[in-house]
Amino acid sequence: MKNRIKYIAGLTLIEIMIGIVITTIMMAAVYTSYSVVNQSYSQVSDKAKISRASRDIVTMLMRDVRMAGFKYYAGSHEIAQYASNTSTCNNGTGIVLPKNSYLYFDNGFNNPQDSHNPLVIRKNTLGFGIVSDATTSVSTNNTNVTGSTASTSSNCCDQIQIVYEDFNQNDHGDGEQAYKRYRITYYALPNDSGGFAAYKRVEHYFQPRSGCELFEQATPPPQDDSGNDSLGVGNLFNLENQFGVNRDQSAGGIVGSGVSDDSADINSINKGLWLTNCNECTPGVMVRNYIDDMEFIPFDKDGKIIQDSAGRFPAPEHSGIRDRLLDIRGVDIRLTWVSKEDFYREAATTDKPRTILGLGGEDRNNLIADGKDKKLRDSVVVTVHTRNIGETF
């Protein structure tokens, strides 16, 4: 029995220690590999989230830009149906609906807030307005931005405004309107984390019929550039292009307007209001948080950027270039997103900066070198052609 115990093999303390060290090294290697794989997965997941969110808003933007300037033309069936639905008017014959929209058109030259232009882009403008908003104040890129118009040192953000028409045959009652006009505005506002968020605002132009008349008595404001000729070229432009009719110079009225006596006076056109009380409307909803920049650049049929010497795009408040509002044939869009959490291990510094390239030249590039920023930024760039903007709008 003693001999058997004598020859039983075992592990010495040194061997046990060596085993523990080897096991520890192996576990450390496995944990390190897991951490690397998990971090890589998180980074890929973050990029995928940004890419997925950007695809959603880009698709939305592309659809709306392509609708800019769209006009609905009612066919014989819609006109006959509208007359039938309003048979209580005009001794049973109903209201004669014009083949195209009778809604008032305002070029916004006197008040850009009333603009009906199919597509307007305002550079470095926060919010949906065109004038400074005293309640908006944000510090970005170490530069203070106050009001709705960002400083030239800020890279966020452009505003785009889109107007198009639609038609709903069911809205034939008194106080309703069959022809619709919508204005969609994409804009940015500061978020709670010191960055920006993208918003979408949808308005409709409220100009309902009153009783059996499509046109109430209302004098539209002057529409020409000088602002002192209520029956000038501006109004003639509005009526000829919006109604698709010609002005009778001898009678001073409108021929072929669809009004009962077919010779409505130019001052009988009713001016409506932009409101956000329709079912499709919204006063402004956030469609994407953590925006780093939104950039829109209009170009003409030759592919040239439409801008003045100051780099401003066509807008009703810019008298030197607003005559080119209908020359827009496409829009280059760049949307840059920023991650919510830190992405890189090291922050961008002056020695190793990160540059987000813009479409509008060096002044639109975003140089990140503050020694603190570890965020991921990813840009989506698309070109959208406007299908409905032209000289006949």
pLDDT one-digit tens code per residue, 119-149: 999 998 999 887 534 344 443 333 333 333 4
> In this structure, is residue 26 part of a structural domain?
no
Contacts of residue 156, defined as CB under 8 A and 6 or more positions apart, other chains included, come to: 124, 126, 140, 150, 188, 196, 291, 292, 293, 294
Report the distance separating Cα 315 and Cα 163, nearest Å. 13
pLDDT of 363 higher than 60: yes
> Which among 200, 203, 166, 201 has a CA at the least distance from the CA of 58?
200
**Over 60: is that where the pLDDT of 187 sits?**
yes
Structure confidence at residue 270 as a pLDDT band (50, 70, 90): low
Mean pLDDT of 323-346: 89
pLDDT band with cut points at 50, 70 and 90 for residue 369: confident
**Per-residue pLDDT, 102:** 86
Predicted pLDDT at 147: 33
**Are 208 and 173 within 8 A, CB to CB?**
no
Nearest to 329 by CA among 134, 145, 118, 46: 118
Share of the chain above pLDDT 70, in %: 73
pLDDT of residue 151: 37
Distance between CA atoms of residues 116 and 234, nearest Å = 13
Report the pLDDT value the prediction gives residue 355, as an integer from 0 to 100: 84
Q: How many domains does the chain have?
A: 1
Measured between alpha carbons, how far is 82 from 80 in angstroms, rounded to an integer?
5
How would residue 60 be classed by pLDDT, with cut points 50, 70 and 90? very high
Q: Answer left, alpha or beta for residue 304, where phi above 0 means left and psi between -120 and 50 means alpha.
A: beta
Of 389, 241, 232, whose CA–CA distance to 325 is shortest? 389
Alpha-carbon gap, residue 292 to 377, rounded angstroms: 8
Query: 284: alpha, beta or left, given left = phi > 0 and alpha = psi -120 to 50?
Result: left
* DSSP symbols for 283-352: EEEEEEEEEEEEEEEEE-TTS-B---TTSPPP-TT-TTTGGGGGG--EEEEEEEEE-SS--SSS---SSS
348 in a domain, yes or no? yes
Task: State how far the Cα of 109 lies from the Cα of 224, in Å rounded to an integer.
Answer: 8
Question: Residue 221 falls within a domain, yes or no?
Answer: no
Residue 371 falls inside a structural domain:
yes
Question: Which DSSP category does 388 fall into?
Answer: S
Amino acid at 350: T
Is the alpha carbon torsion for 211, 215, 219, 223 positive or negative? Answer: positive
Domain membership of residue 290 (yes or no) is yes
From its phi and psi, is residue 130 left (phi > 0), alpha (psi between -120 and 50) or beta?
A: alpha
More confident residue, 36 or 299: 299
Is 92's pLDDT higher than 80? yes
The SS3 call for residue 62 is helix
Identify residue 2 by its one-letter amino acid code: K
The per-residue pLDDT for 180 is 94
> Do 337 and 381 contact (CB within 8 A), yes or no?
no
Q: Taking residues 284-293, what's their average pLDDT?
A: 90
Q: What is the pLDDT of residues 240-263, one digit of tens each?
A: 333 333 333 332 222 233 333 333
Mean pLDDT of 188-206: 91
Instruction: Show the tokens assigned to 208.
Output: 């309902």
Separation between Cα atoms, residue 149 and residue 123, nearest integer Å: 8
Q: What is the pTM of this model?
A: 0.74
Q: Per the domain annotation, does 92 fall within a domain? A: yes
Q: Which domain holds residue 165?
A: 43-216+270-385
Q: How high is the mean pLDDT of the chain?
A: 77
Residue 138: the pLDDT is 41
Asked if residue 323 belongs to a domain, the reply is yes
Q: Is residue 277 part of a domain?
A: yes
